[in-house]
Each structure stands twice: as C-alpha cells, then as structure tokens.
Amino acid sequence: MPLDRMIEKAYDLVEKRRVELIGDGMYNVVGDHGTYTVAQKIDGTVDCNCPGFARRGKCSHSLAVMMLNQPSLLKSVRREISRASDRAETERARM
C-alpha cells in the first residue's frame, strides 16, 4: 500500500471513530480486516499487532493513533485530503 493511501485510510479510521482508547496508551482499532491493538510507548512510538505492521513496521492503524494524538498532524492531513478531493472535482468538471 502506498504511503498516501495508508495516510488516507488512517485519517478515515480517526474520522469514523474507529480508534478507541482502551487503557494506558492502548487502543483498539477497527480496521477493514479485523480489530487490532495499537500500543503507544512512552517515547511516542507505536506498535500494532496486525500483519502489515509486522512486515513493514507501519500500518494505517498505528498511523491513526499517531494522528489522534497529534492534532496538528491530523489538521495537516485533513487539509491535504480536502485539497486532493477539490482537485479531483475540478478534473471531473473539466471532462
């Protein structure tokens, strides 16, 4: 999955409230293929128990938790995504 797509997916998880705090730095994330547990460590790094994270060290679930904890990051992603959809609409209007 390209990074852009992953960021979009993570943003979607946050917006749809599919990220739930279940305990001390522990989150339940309801993904498309199952519910995963994301743990945020003291140093701010995140860990997810999904197969994608095990393979690549990153995934949309852990990104979603990072966004949830960094409002400025969430804001800039929101801006990027609305800009991208504006562009898509302009292109559609031209056709």
User: Which parts of this chain interact with Zn ion (CB under 5 A)?
Assistant: 36, 48, 50, 53, 59, 61
Structure tokens at 95: 């056709």
Q: CB 40 → Zn ion: shortest distance, Å? A: 13
Tell me how far apart the terminal alpha carbons of the chain are, to the nearest angstrom: 29
Q: CB 61 → Zn ion: shortest distance, Å? A: 3
Q: For residue 18, count CB atoms less than 10 angstroms from its CB and return exposed for 0-12, middle for 13-18, buried for 19 or more.
A: middle
DSSP state at residue 74? H
Q: CB 5 → Zn ion: shortest distance, Å? A: 14
Our CB check for Zn ion shows the closer of 50 and 77 to be 50
Our CB check for Zn ion shows the closer of 11 and 53 to be 53
